[in-house]
Amino acid sequence: MAPTNLLSSEHRDLLDIIDKLRSGGITRWVNLPEIIVCGDQSFGKSSVLEAISGMSFPTKDNLCTRFATELILRRANNTSINISLNPDPARPEAEQLRLRSQKFDLSEPVDLGKAVDTAKDAMGLDGTKKGFSTDILRIELCGPAQPHLTMVDLPGLFKAGNREQSEQDAKLVKELVMGYMERPRSIILAVVSAKSDFALQEITALARQLDPDGDRTLGLITKPDTLDVGSDSERAYLELAQNKDVRFRLGWHVLKNRDYFTRDTRATERDKAEEEFLSNGIWTELESNQLGVKTLRPRLSNVLKDQILLHLPDLLGDVVSGILQCNATLARLGASRATLSDQRRYLGKVGQDFSMLMQAAVDGEYLSHSFFGDSRSDDGYRRRLRAVIQNTLISFEERMRKEGKARVIFDGQSDEAEKESDKPKNKEHSPRISRSDYVDEVKSLMRRNRGRELPGTWNPMIIVELFRDQCQPWKNIIGLCIAEIIRAVRQVTSSILEHVSVGEITDGILRDIINPKMEILTQNLQEKVSEILHPHYSGHPITYNHYLTDTVQKAQEQRYLSTVEAALRNSGGIKRINNNTHVDYGVMARAITQQVERDMERVASSQAVDYMEAYYKVALKSVIDSIAALVVEACLIQKLPTLFNADTVYDLQDADVQGLAGESKEVLEERTRVMQKLKVLQSSLHDLKRLDKCGAAQSQRASG
- In this prediction, residue 595 has a pLDDT band, given cuts at 50, 70 and 90, of low
111-115, 523-527, 625-629, 635-639: the lowest-pLDDT one: 111-115
Model pLDDT, residue 65: 57
pLDDT at position 111 over 60: yes
Contacts of 226 (CB under 8 A, 6+ apart): 194, 195
Q: How many of the other CB atoms lie within 10 Å of CB of 86?
A: 19
Percent of the chain past pLDDT 70, that is, above it, reads 87
- Least trusted range by pLDDT, from 211-220, 251-260, 291-300: 251-260
Contacts of 176 (CB under 8 A, 6+ apart): 68, 132, 134, 154, 155
Q: What is the Cα–Cα distance from 498 to 644, expressed in whole angstroms?
A: 13
pLDDT 10s digits, 446-474: 888 777 777 777 777 888 888 888 999 99
Highest mean pLDDT pick, 44-58, 159-173, 505-519, 546-560? 505-519
Residue 85 CB contacts under 8 Å (≥ 6 apart), including other chains? 99, 100, 102, 119, 122, 123, 135, 136, 137, 138
pLDDT at position 62 is 42
Give the model's pLDDT for residue 162.
Answer: 64
Of 664 and 413, the one with more pLDDT: 664
Listed ranges 198-207, 370-379, 605-614; the one with the highest mean pLDDT: 370-379
- Burial class for 51, CB neighbours closer than 10 Å (0-12, 13-18, 19+): buried
Q: Where are the domains of the chain?
A: 24-323, 341-413+429-573+584-645
* Lowest mean pLDDT segment, chosen from 98-107, 156-165, 249-258, 327-336: 156-165
Report the distance separating Cα 120 and Cα 67, nearest Å.
9
What is the arithmetic mean of pLDDT over 148-165? 77
Which residues neighbour 630 within 8 Å (Cβ) at sequence distance 6 or greater? 528, 532
583 φ/ψ angles, rounded to the nearest 5 degrees: -110, 125
Average pLDDT over residues 204-219: 90
- Judge contact between 18 and 186, C-beta under 8 A: no
Give the SS3 label for residue 69. Answer: strand
Distance CA 18, CA 304 (A): 11
Q: Report pLDDT for 92.
A: 87
Q: Does residue 350 register a pLDDT over 80?
A: yes
- Whether residue 49 has pLDDT greater than 70: yes
Minimum mean pLDDT among 132-136, 236-240, 362-366, 477-481: which range?
132-136
- Does 173 have pLDDT greater than 60? yes
In this structure, the number of other CB atoms found within 10 A of the CB of residue 31 comes to 17
466 Cβ neighbours under 8 A, 6+ residues apart: 442, 445, 608, 609, 612
Closest by CA to 410, choosing from 555, 547, 553, 548, is: 555
pLDDT at residue number 695: 54
Candidate ranges 58-72, 260-274, 416-430, 623-637; pick with highest mean pLDDT? 623-637
Of the pLDDT bands very low, low, confident and very high (cuts 50, 70, 90), residue 266 is confident
Q: Is the pLDDT of residue 39 over 60?
A: yes
Question: Over the stretch 581-593, which tens digit does the pLDDT of each residue have?
Answer: 766 666 667 666 6
Q: Which positions ≥6 away from 327 have C-beta within 8 Å? A: 678
C-beta neighbour count of 205 within 10 angstroms: 12
Q: Between 525 and 612, where is the model more confident?
A: 525
Look at residue 418 in the predicted model and tell me its pLDDT.
Answer: 44
Average pLDDT, the chain: 83
Average pLDDT rounded to a whole number, residues 523-537: 92
pLDDT (0 to 100) of residue 6: 39
Domain 24-323: top CATH class? alpha beta
**pLDDT higher than threshold 60 for residue 420:** no
pLDDT (mean) for 179-192: 91
* 3-class state of residue 81 by DSSP: strand
State the Cα–Cα distance between residues 118 and 121, nearest whole angstrom. 5
Residue 423 has pLDDT above 70, yes or no: no
Q: Given a cut of 60, is residue 416 above it in pLDDT?
A: no
Cβ neighbour number for residue 317 with a 10 Å cutoff: 11
Residue 424 has pLDDT above 60, yes or no: no
306-326 pLDDT, tens digit per residue, is: 888 888 888 888 889 999 999
Could you tell me whether strands 252-255 and 136-143 are parallel, antiparallel, or unpaired per DSSP bridges? unpaired
